[in-house]
Amino acid sequence: MKRAILIVKGEVQRVGYRDVVAKIARKLSISGFVENLKPYDVKIVAEGSDENIAQFIEQLKIKRFPIDVESVEVSFEPYKHEFEYFEIKRGDWREELFERLDTAGALLYKSVELGEKSVALGERSVELGERSVALGEKLVALSKRSVELGEKSVALGERSVELGEKSVALGEKSVELGEKSVALGEESVSIGKRMLEKQDATIEVIEQSKDEIVTEIRSLREDLRSYMEDRFAKIEHEIEAIKAKIGMV
C-alpha cells in the first residue's frame, strides 16, 4: 500500500476534471481527495495498493476537450489509511457554481462547434451523395452500353462463325476442285505425251516419205534430161538436113 501526493497542471480547473478524477479513483478503489489549487492547478491525495496507484497516475493524464493535462508531479509518503473513500473538496459555493457554469459553457461551445462541423460534414456528405448518384447513373448508362456492345459482339461472333463455316465449306469445295484439276492435269499430261509420241511417229513417216519423193524427183530429172538431150540431138539433125536441102550447107 502507498500514499501519493499529485499536482496536476494544465487546463484542469473549470473543465470538470475533478469529477473525472473521482470516477477513476472509485473504479480503482482509491481513497483520498481532489481539490483545486490556486491559481490553476489541481491537488490529489490518493491512498491504495501499489498497482492501483500506478494505474491511477497513468489514467490522470487526460487530453480530451475541454480537459488538457500538461504534467503530473508525483511524490510518495507512507501509507496512513487516513481516508475511508475518495471525495471532491469543493470551495465556496459561488465559485463552484461559476466553475460548473464555465464547464457547461465550454461543453456547450464545443457542442455548437461540433454541430457546425457536423452540418458541414452533412453538407459534404450530401454533395458526395449527389456525385455518387450521378456516377451511379453514368455507371448504369455505361452498363447498358456495355450490354448493347456485348449483344452486338455476340451477334458478330455468331455471324463470324456462320461465315467461318461457309469458308470451310468453300475451302473443302476448293480442295475437291483442286484434286479434280490435278487429276485432269495428270490426264492432260498423259494425253500430251501420247500426242508427242504420235507426232514423233508422224514426223518419222514424213521424213521417210520425203526421202522417197526426193529420190523419185532425182530419178525423174535424170530421165527427163536424157529425153531432152535425145530430143535436142534429133532436132539438130533435122535442122542440118533441112539446111542441106536448101543449100545452106
Q: Which residues of 33-58 are buried (b: 16+ CB within 10 A; e: fewer)?
A: bbebeeeebbebbbbbeeebbebbee
Q: Which of 3, 14, 18, 52 is catalytic?
A: 18
Question: Which residues are CB-contacts of 35 (< 8 A; sequence separation ≥ 6)?
Answer: 18, 42, 43, 88, 89, 90, 91
Give the three cell numbers for residue 113: 462547434
Tell me the C-alpha distance between 107 and 102, whole Å.
Answer: 8
- Catalytic-residue membership of 231: no
- Catalytic-residue membership of 18: yes
Query: Which contacts (CB < 8 Å, 24+ apart) does range 33-39 have?
Result: 33/83, 33/86, 33/87, 33/88, 33/89, 34/86, 34/87, 34/88, 34/89, 35/88, 35/89, 35/90, 35/91, 36/91, 37/7
Task: Write down how long the chain is.
Answer: 249
Give the three cell numbers for residue 238: 533435122
Q: Which of 3, 14, 26, 36 is catalytic?
A: 36
Catalytic residues, which ones? 18, 36
